[in-house]
Structure 1
Amino acid sequence: MYVPPLFAFDDAGDMAAFCRAHPFAALVTHGPEGLFATHLPVVLKSEGKGGAFFGHIARANPHWQKAADGAEGLLIFTGAQAYVTPSWYATKRETAKVVPTWNYAAVHARGRITWTSDAGFLHQNLADLTEAHEARFAHPWALSDAPDDFVEKQMRAIVGLRFEITGLIGKRKMSQNRPAADIDGVVEGLSQSGEAGDREVAGMVEALRPR
């Protein structure tokens, strides 16, 4: 991923936090038949030298056969994003030398893949995912709420993924390259949007404003 220094994440901790906040990723690998991608939720754990992501895919998905154990993969995490109209820029009124752009945040994780059908691994992964995403509900569902034989049957239909991280690179393009008056216009314009994502980007633009 191309990342100008002005848009780079500050450190690995920031990128890890981003991945935890946006856990639905795209797994991309390259094998004998070319590129293949799968979208899946993952859990980040402090395991090994640089951490690891854990997840699972459907056994019917050929991805686990297209990417051998030890193969290199890429996990792509995306966060808030929004279109930015040049009409919000003070520079438009001054010189008209402006164009539209897109503000967004993303993290790419490189790593080594291991697939597994181990029942203990799969059960732990399902429990971890459930706990992480049910926490926001008043009455969270737990894996133990389902009959054991039903869960075991479901696990036979999936394959587990361990993704050992070898590198992280992150980008937050949030108008940091614009003059202060243009940034003011972007924040105001996005803040007035009816889209929650636009308003989230407005907050990030303000937070990442060059000081």
Structure 2
Amino acid sequence: MLIHPWDAPRDDGEWQTWLAAHDFGQLAVNGPAGEPPLVQPLHFAYDADRGEAVTHLARPNPLWPALEANPRVLLSVVDDYAFVPGPWQADPDDPPEHGVPTSFYAAVQLHCTAHVVDDPVEKAGLLNRQLGHFQPQGGSSRAAPGEAPYGRLLSGIRGLRLEVTDVRAKFKYGGKRTEEVRDRIATALAGRAGPGDTAAREHIVRRRGT
């Protein structure tokens, strides 16, 4: 992923705050020699203090042999995207039709070493961490081996702990454009109010001055 200086996060706190609210991504695993990568959409829980993300998959999932052959993986999260028409991006002294269309988006890529979790107690603990993230208000029993309601289901899944070794983050929201152009785009996004437009506009306003 190409990251220009004007699209880079201001600090780790920026991408960590964003990632805390975006917990669905795609896990890319190296495929067999000569084959493309395997990609699995999934929910995950990221723990900044531990420097890892945790998730689980069904035991029959075809990713397991690939993970065991090569545990180096990439967890990719992209959201808050919007298409920006060319005229919105035109410089003030140029005709609107000279503007170049582009895409705005936020992206975080976690480079990880995958650790497969099969021990029932450890697997239950991993599941409970996920429940704590996705259902902090409760309303669900905790997982424990041999106990209802999830104990009998543990054998059907394998846990996955993704140890983060590097992070690439990008906030592409017209950072190289003048304040006048960015204000124009923000106003246009508010007027269009399509899917993703509100979130994209909030990033433009938040990152003003970077």
* Bin for the TM-score computed over the shorter chain: 0.7 to 0.9
Residues 1:14 and 2:14 aligned together:
yes
Output aligned runs, 1:42-61, within 5 Å: 42-45=44-47, 46-47=49-50, 51-61=51-61
Q: C-alpha displacement at 1:170, in angstroms? A: 0.4
- The DSSP-based 3-state class of the residue aligned with 1:40 is strand
Output aligned runs, 1:21-100, within 5 Å: 21-33=21-33, 34=35, 35-45=37-47, 46-47=49-50, 51-68=51-68, 71-89=71-89, 91=91, 94-95=94-95, 96-100=97-101
- Long gaps (5+) in structure 2: none
Bigger mean CA offset, 140-149 vs 174-183: 140-149
**CA RMSD, Structure 1 to Structure 2 (Å):** 2.4
Q: C-alpha displacement at 1:89, in angstroms? A: 4.0
2:140 maps to which residue? 142
Q: C-alpha displacement at 1:69, in angstroms? A: 6.9
- The DSSP-based 3-state class of the residue aligned with 2:132 is helix
2:115 maps to which residue? 114
2:163 maps to which residue? 164
CA–CA distance in structure 1, aligned partners of residues 83 and 127 of structure 2: 36
CA–CA distance in structure 1, aligned partners of residues 153 and 194 of structure 2: 37
**Count of residue pairs the alignment pairs up:** 205
- The DSSP-based 3-state class of the residue aligned with 1:91 is coil
Q: C-alpha displacement at 1:93, in angstroms? A: 7.4
Q: C-alpha displacement at 1:171, in angstroms? A: 0.3
**Compared with structure 1, are the counterparts of its residues 158 and 145 closer, same or farther at alpha carbon in structure 2 (3 Å cutoff)?**
closer
The two structures have a TM-score, normalised by structure 2, of 0.86
2:193 maps to which residue? 194
Post-superposition Cα deviations, 1:54-76, rounded to whole Å, max 9, x if no partner, equal 11111111111211176211010
**Compared with structure 1, are the counterparts of its residues 195 and 124 closer, same or farther at alpha carbon in structure 2 (3 Å cutoff)?**
farther
**Compared with structure 1, are the counterparts of its residues 85 and 92 closer, same or farther at alpha carbon in structure 2 (3 Å cutoff)?**
farther
Q: C-alpha displacement at 1:92, in angstroms? A: 7.1
Bigger mean CA offset, 21-30 vs 37-46: 37-46
Q: C-alpha displacement at 1:150, in angstroms? A: 3.3
- Long gaps (5+) in structure 1: none
Amino acid at match of 2:123: L
The two structures have a TM-score, normalised by structure 1, of 0.86
- The DSSP-based 3-state class of the residue aligned with 1:210 is coil
Q: Contact (CA 8 Å) 2:81, 2:200: kept in 1 or not?
A: yes
CA–CA distance in structure 2, aligned partners of residues 69 and 16 of structure 1: 30
- The DSSP-based 3-state class of the residue aligned with 1:143 is coil
Amino acid at match of 1:175: G
CA–CA distance in structure 2, aligned partners of residues 93 and 171 of structure 1: 29
Bigger mean CA offset, 65-74 vs 96-105: 65-74
Bigger mean CA offset, 101-110 vs 70-79: 70-79
1:132 maps to which residue? 133
**After TM superposition, what 4+ stretches of structure 1 lie above 6 angstroms from structure 2?**
none
Q: Contact (CA 8 Å) 2:7, 2:175: kept in 1 or not?
A: yes
**Compared with structure 1, are the counterparts of its residues 145 and 75 closer, same or farther at alpha carbon in structure 2 (3 Å cutoff)?**
closer
CA–CA distance in structure 1, aligned partners of residues 207 and 13 of structure 2: 16
**Compared with structure 1, are the counterparts of its residues 164 and 69 closer, same or farther at alpha carbon in structure 2 (3 Å cutoff)?**
farther
